Amino acid sequence: MSHPSHPAASVGALSLDAEALYSELLRGVRNMLTPTTRLAGIASGGAWLAERLQKDLGLQGPAGVLSSVMHRDDFAQRGLSASAQTSLPFDVNGADVLVLDDVLYTGRTIRAVLNELFDYGRPASVRLAVLVDRGGRELPVQADFAAARVALPAAQSLALARDDARGNFQFQVQDKD
């Protein structure tokens, strides 16, 4: 059940406590770290996760941010969004890059982000950790670690939100237009 200071999003009878799932993600990412691992979060939810993980794991320097905007297959419809720009404060060449995202769904954002990442160099390996895997893949992409797997109707979206004052996470479930 949800703790009062950690609002949970309800998906049918399922309650998703983002803070509890973050604790699970922290444990999973800690087990995935190597001496050459660098964190890079997908803007914006994944970037928030990477930033907090970087701090909670005591890693040096800032985490990277990856934008999918320039490599999206729906760029003609979406255009440039106001999301963050890619910033990788580490050498991608030879690095073990752990990409973080809040919700894995179709796999299209991951495909775009991989193209963006390889524009910056050739990593030794790329792995993916997500807070929630909601299934519904359109591309052959899977997470190396997912804190939770949930089924959600295609007519709904699930997104991570962050309380900027306290830094706590919560989920927002919305009906798509």
Using the CB atoms, write b or e for 65-80: b if 16+ within 10 Å: bbbbbebbeeeeeeee
**Who's near 12: CB < 8 A, 6+ residues apart?**
none
Q: Is residue 27 part of a domain?
A: yes
Q: Is residue 10 part of a domain?
A: no
Q: CATH number of the domain that 51 lies in?
A: 3.40.50.2020
Predicted confidence at residue 152, as pLDDT, reads: 86
Q: Is residue 52 part of a domain?
A: yes
Q: Is residue 44 part of a domain?
A: yes
Say how many C-beta atoms besides its own lie within 10 A of residue 27's C-beta.
Answer: 11
Q: Categorise residue 167: left if φ over 0, alpha if ψ from -120 to 50, beta otherwise.
A: left
More confident call, 5 vs 100: 100
Per-residue model confidence as pLDDT tens digits over 36-66: 999 999 998 999 999 999 999 999 999 999 9
Which residue range forms the structural domain that includes residue 30?
15-77+84-175
Q: Is residue 6 part of a domain?
A: no
Per-residue model confidence as pLDDT tens digits over 137-171: 999 999 999 999 998 888 888 889 888 778 889 88
Predicted confidence at residue 104, as pLDDT, reads: 96
Q: How far apart are CA 133 and CA 150, in angstroms?
A: 6
Total structural domains within the chain: 1
Question: Does a cis peptide bond (omega within 30 degrees of 0) precede residue 81?
Answer: no
Q: Is residue 8 part of a domain?
A: no
